[in-house]
Amino acid sequence: MLQQTQVAAVVPYYNRWLRRFPTIRSLARATESDVLHAWQGLGYYARARNLHRCSKLIDEKFGGIFPSDPNELKSLPGIGRYTANAIAAFAFDQPLPLVEANTGRVLARLFNVRDPIDSSSGRRKLWESSAKLVCSKPARDFQNAMMDLGSLICIVRNPRCQICPVRKFCRVRDPASLPRKRKRAAIVPLIESHRLCTIGDALLLEQCYQRWRGMWILPRLELDGLKPSSLSPRPIHTSVFPFTNHRVTLRVYRQRAHHVDPRVQRWFRKEELNAIPIPSPHRRAINAFFTSKRAAESHRKRSLE
DNA sequence: AAGACGGGGTT
DNA sequence: AACCCAGTCTT
């Protein structure tokens, strides 16, 4: 959960997750839909699918025992060099190098790594630096201290060098100038149109196969790129959300259900929507629709009285 | 080596 | 509006 996601955002998900899947086996036995539902809103859903696959592998191939060898850990889906070493270091107290956002920033400054830390040369130098520092005695404590140093003192902006315990070893001149990062890809605007169809209190949704795979969204409408003219119907909902290097404008049109494809589309009653995985922008659009509908109904009721 | 992959919070 | 985040996988 913590991969590319801040601790504060993870905490409530983590607590709910452990209540819902208390053991590796209970996760292994869950459906992918339930797993994605528990993850919805956190983003990077491949992490949830990987963790699910991971639990099945551990349940079936590792006798339910989590491996402690970093190489075995790295062979599991979603566990790369950082996570493998982090599990081995924190759970099993093994002296291994760790480079993530916090320790990466600390190491870049300590060793004055001027290459972008997300370039291959920068990454290589950081891992080499980390390997130089790991000591075997308090392996777990050392890495905890490195991460705390990064999150509390050697912070992104306005690093608190005055109170830094390792200040005299630090080789960087201007700490705020490091770490550097590669220039990021330009933001590409995107317009996506979807339809909102209801029958009674049931809503038509469509299964995703690419982005948000395994989750449910409002059915796609193939008029992307077309400018809304005065002739076309107005969207009942418009929102803008960032998606990796895109800026997506989401337009939702009220429509009758003419083309229902039973292979990928399904009707859900309003209450059922709470139990299926829906990505945040679509969940917000759906909520906005039901909220305005309820408001309209109560207004009509008041007028009748 | 670069791009894809989320979403919410902070500056 | 840009940047940030306990990275990993695919191309």
Q: How far apart are the first and last CA of chain A?
A: 51
For A25-81, write each residue's pLDDT tens digit.
999 999 999 999 999 999 999 999 999 999 999 999 999 999 999 999 999 999 999
Q: What is the dihedral of CA A281, A45, A146, A134, to 10 degrees?
A: -160
The C1' atom of C10 and the CA atom of A299 lie apart, in whole Å, by: 52
pLDDT reading at A251 higher than 70? yes
CATH of A89-183, one of 3.40.50.970, 3.40.50.10860, 3.40.1260.10, 1.10.1670.10: 1.10.1670.10
Query: Is pLDDT above 90 for A86?
Result: yes
User: Can you give the pLDDT at residue A91?
Assistant: 95
Residue A137 has pLDDT above 60, yes or no: yes
> Which nt is closest to the CA of A155, judged by C1'?
C4
Q: Is the pLDDT of residue A257 over 90?
A: no
Query: What pLDDT is stored for residue A111 in this prediction?
Result: 97
Give the domain ranges of chain A.
Answer: 1-66, 89-183, 188-304
A1-66 against A188-304: fold identical: no
Backbone torsions φ then ψ of A276, nearest 5 degrees: -120, 155
Nearest-CA residue relative to C1' of C3: A156
Q: Which residue is nearest to nucleotide B10 (CA to C1')?
A: A157
Q: Which nucleotide is nearest to A86 (CA to C1')?
A: C6
Compute how many other C-beta atoms are within 10 angstroms of the C-beta atom of residue A165: 9
Which pLDDT score is estimated for A300? 66
pLDDT-derived band of residue A298, with 50, 70 and 90 as boundaries?
A: confident
For A10 and B8, how far is CA from C1' in angstroms?
Answer: 11
> Which pLDDT tens digit goes with each residue over A27-39?
999 999 999 999 9
- Residue by residue, DSSP assigns chain A as --TTS-HHHHHHHHHHHHHH--SHHHHHHS-HHHHHHHHTTS--THHHHHHHHHHHHHHHHSTTPPP--HHHHHTSTT--HHHHHHIIIIIH-------SHHHHHHHHHHTT--S-TTSHHHHHHHHHHHHHH--STTHHHHHHHHHHIIIIIS-SSS--GGG-TTGGG---SSGGG-S--PPPPPPEEEEEEEEE-EETTEEEEEE-SBTBTT-EEPPEES-TTPPP-SSSPPPSEEEEEEETTEEEEEEEEE-------TTTEEEEEGGGGGGS---HHHHHHHHHHHHHHHHHHHHHHHHH-
A65 CA → B7 C1’, Å: 32
Q: How far apart are CA A37 and CA A19, in angstroms?
A: 14
Cα torsion A253, A257, A262, A266: sign: positive
Residue nearest to nucleotide B4 (CA to C1'): A244
Q: Which nucleotide is nearest to A156 (CA to C1')?
A: C4
Measured from Cα to the C1' atom, the residue closest to C9 is A78
Determine the distance between A188 (CA) and B1 (C1') in angstroms.
21
Which nucleotide lies nearest residue A208, CA to C1'?
B5
Comparing A147 with A136, the larger pLDDT belongs to A147
Confidence of residue A157 (pLDDT cuts 50, 70, 90): very high
Q: Which strand B bases fall within 7 angstroms of a protein CB? A: 1-9, 11
Q: What is the dihedral of CA A178, A183, A186, A187, to 10 degrees?
A: -30
- Per DSSP, the residues of A260-294 read --TTTEEEEEGGGGGGS---HHHHHHHHHHHHHHH
CATH H-level superfamily of A1-66? Hypothetical protein; domain 2 (1.10.340.30)
Q: Does domain A188-304 have CATH number 3.50.50.100?
A: no
**Which of the nucleotides in strand C have any atom less than 7 Å away from a protein CB atom?**
2-9
Segment A212-239 shows an average pLDDT of 80
Task: Classify residue A265 as exposed, middle or buried by CB count within 10 Å of its CB (0-12, 13-18, 19+).
Answer: middle
